[in-house]
Amino acid sequence: PSPATTGAPEATAPSASDQDRGAQASSVANEPPTVGAADETGQGAWLRDSIGWWWRRHDGTYPAGSWARIAGSRYFFDQRGYMATGWLRDGGHWYYLAPTGTLIGGWLKDGGAWYYLDPNTGVMATGMVGVDGTWYCMDSSGAMRTGWARLADGWHYFAPSGAQIGGWLKDGGAWYYLDPNTGVMATGMVGVDGTWYCMDSSGAMRTGWARLADGWHYFAPSGAQIGGWLKDGGEWYYLDPDSGIMRTTPLELGGRRYEFNASGAWLGYEAPAGYLQPTDHITGLGDQTNTLTWGMNGVKVRIVQQRLGLWHATKLASVDAAFVSAVTNFQRRAGLSPTGVVDRATWDAMDTGYPWTVDQYQASPLPLTATRSERIEALIGYAWNQTGSSYTWGGAGPYDLGFDCSGLVLQSLYAAGLDPQPITVIKHGWPDYRTSQELYAYPYFQHVPLAQRQRGDLIFYRSGGVVTHVSIYLGDDMIVHTDWMGRPARMDHITASYGWANMTPDVVRPLP
């Protein structure tokens, strides 16, 4: 018989507080004694007595206090000559011998902990050990570590498998970054794939504002450092695209000058309290559009008039009797219900070349970084660029479909970044809706005396005591406007043929 065919007693793992557990050591040597173990194969036989297993050579002697190699496996025999099992300390190293007595190499689980023993020498590893390209950390007792471990070069993290983690790690709700090569946890600024992140002294990734040695920085919810314009808490900030440092001094960018206060907030345009604030997006209209019923006005009416041969330069773009009659006749020819109303089905059948929602056109606003003077020039510039466009009653553009006076002004306000809700381009085409009157009465616009008019103000005119016309003031008593069929958008004298007496005594200043 041999010990491989029978059981052997379990042993206790080594610990940092108990380094002498196990069989007596044979010697202390620079090289593990297992390397030079004498090969006893074929030179004796296994014997067992009441104490344990031992190896009896043919000459009657036996190995004692030494290692022996038998049939390819290594065994240790104590000073009495009995085969050892379990944990053994010898030559300054720990080893583990299976219940069969054979020296174990590789991974071993004992007492709930994992250990690693050199496959060649059987020596138990401590500290950092590489196995098949993966690094593990074994404590002073040889037990594999998991979780956070502070080593000589910094903090490391080891997965439940014991493998050292490299790269991003989320733990306890926080993100950490560990060097993919060394496993060392990063602190301070760290660059990953061309993006900069900031890790605090505990290694946790920072987000939001962070004051570093060179100034204030901002880190997105992803942790990425932000460069360029940033809106936070209703204020705009500029962070250097290269360094990420928040700007507090004047900046020349794209031919424009920007100034910032001591906290870094951009000193751009903000309307005084109580007035309409600028926006960088005009409220969307969803599926709103006008079905052409009696009295409806605007560009869709004009398109149908052009399609049915009703349009001419002095034609009012309004659903009237001639319009209803022509539409009814078309519907009969097209096999549609002859209602005289242009709904989606009739519009599609006409194949006008324009979408059903053509009346949703809205001019694009300036970005929020625009100054007051830039907004005034955008307001005027939009109207100026429409000069020469034809007049369309109830029209609000674009250029090839024409405008009326208030449609031109409404789109110019959009271009300046002003969205005077609930006034919209859709309502502008309604039969009894007068956008000029709505703009004059809008509660979030400033009114100033006519004598104090400035470039960019809105000038209003009355007929029979009621507001019926609006224009944009250019300065030097000149305006840009459009006023009636057959007369295109153009520059004109401020009185616009109404005369001073028919102008309102005040003007609207949309950008106070």
Residues 305-321: tens digit of each pLDDT = 999 999 998 999 999 99
Question: What is d(CA 45, CA 505) in angstroms, rounded to the nearest whole number?
Answer: 124
Q: What angle do CA 234, 236, 239 make, to 5 degrees?
A: 140
Average pLDDT value over all residues in the chain: 93
Question: Which CATH number does the domain housing residue 244 bear?
Answer: 2.10.270.10
Which residue do the tokens 């190896």 mark?
55
422 and 438 Cβ atoms separated by less than 8 Å: no
| 338 and 370 part of one domain | no
| 396 and 480 part of one domain | yes
User: In the predicted model, is pLDDT for residue 10 greater than 60?
Assistant: no
* Residue 48: φ, ψ to 5°: -135, 135
For residue 311, give both structure tokens: 């349009």
Q: What is the mean pLDDT of residues 292-298?
A: 98
Give the residue from 127, 149, 172 where a domain finishes: 127
Res 21: pLDDT: 29
| 417 and 305 part of one domain | no
| 79 and 23 part of one domain | yes
Question: What is d(CA 494, CA 458) in angstroms, rounded to the nearest whole number?
Answer: 11
| 108 and 28 part of one domain | yes
pLDDT confidence tier of residue 30, bands split at 50, 70 and 90: low
| 447 and 389 part of one domain | yes
| 337 and 385 part of one domain | no
* pLDDT digit string, tens, across residues 106-150: 999 999 999 999 999 999 999 999 999 999 999 999 999 999 999
Q: What is the mean pLDDT of residues 41-50?
A: 96
Q: Is residue 322 part of a domain?
A: yes
* pLDDT digit string, tens, across residues 315-356: 999 999 999 999 999 999 999 999 999 999 999 999 999 999
Smallest CA-to-CA distance from 479 within 397, 423, 405, 401 is with 405
Q: Is residue 164 part of a domain?
A: no
Q: Which residues pair with 90 in a beta bridge?
A: 93
pLDDT confidence tier of residue 270, bands split at 50, 70 and 90: confident
436 and 442 Cβ atoms separated by less than 8 Å: no
User: In the predicted model, is pLDDT for residue 26 greater than 60?
Assistant: no
Give the residue from 92, 107, 127 where a domain finishes: 127
294 and 327 Cβ atoms separated by less than 8 Å: no
Q: Alpha carbon 384 to chain centroid distance?
A: 39
Res 401: pLDDT: 98
Burial class of 457 by CB neighbour count within 10 A (0 to 12, 13 to 18, 19+): buried
Res 216: pLDDT: 98
Res 259: pLDDT: 86
Q: Can you tell me whether residue 27 is helix, strand or coil?
A: coil
| 440 and 327 part of one domain | no
Q: Is residue 454 part of a domain?
A: yes
Helix/strand/coil (H/E/C) assignment for every residue in 63-101: CCCEEEEECCEEEEECCCCEECCEEEEECCEEEEECCCC
pLDDT confidence tier of residue 11, bands split at 50, 70 and 90: very low
352 and 304 Cβ atoms separated by less than 8 Å: yes
Res 31: pLDDT: 66
| 331 and 374 part of one domain | no
Burial class of 378 by CB neighbour count within 10 A (0 to 12, 13 to 18, 19+): buried
Give the residue from 84, 99, 127 where a domain finishes: 127
For residue 19, give both structure tokens: 């380094």
pLDDT confidence tier of residue 2, bands split at 50, 70 and 90: very low
User: In the predicted model, is pLDDT for residue 24 greater than 50?
Assistant: no
128 and 151 Cβ atoms separated by less than 8 Å: yes
Which residue do the tokens 């050292």 mark?
164
Q: How far is CA 69 from CA 41, 217, 462, in A?
A: 7, 66, 115
Percent of the chain predicted with pLDDT > 90: 86
- The domain total for the chain is 4
* pLDDT digit string, tens, across residues 156-204: 999 999 999 999 999 999 999 999 999 999 999 999 999 999 999 999 9
Res 371: pLDDT: 86
Question: Which CATH number does the domain housing residue 417 bear?
Answer: 3.90.1720.10
Q: Is residue 197 part of a domain?
A: no
Amino acid at 466: V
Q: Is residue 494 part of a domain?
A: yes
| 327 and 370 part of one domain | no
| 321 and 420 part of one domain | no
Q: Helices in 312-457 by DSSP H: which ranges?
A: 321-333, 344-350, 372-385, 405-415, 435-441
User: In the predicted model, is pLDDT for residue 84 greater than 80?
Assistant: yes
Which residue do the tokens 């790690």 mark?
169
Question: What is d(CA 507, CA 461) in angstroms, rounded to the nearest whole number?
Answer: 10
Res 190: pLDDT: 98
User: In the predicted model, is pLDDT for residue 387 greater than 80?
Assistant: yes
Domain region containing 74: 3-127
Positive or negative CA dihedral for 321, 322, 326, 329? Answer: positive
- 321-333 vs 299-307: helix axis angle to the nearest 10? 60
Q: Is residue 157 part of a domain?
A: no
pLDDT confidence tier of residue 35, bands split at 50, 70 and 90: confident
Q: What is the mean pLDDT of residues 63-85?
A: 96
Res 91: pLDDT: 87
Q: Is residue 264 part of a domain?
A: no
User: In the predicted model, is pLDDT for residue 386 greater than 50?
Assistant: yes
User: In the predicted model, is pLDDT for residue 28 greater than 60?
Assistant: no
| 386 and 485 part of one domain | yes
Contacts with 146 (C-beta within 8 Å, 6 or more apart), sequence order: 158, 159, 160, 161, 162
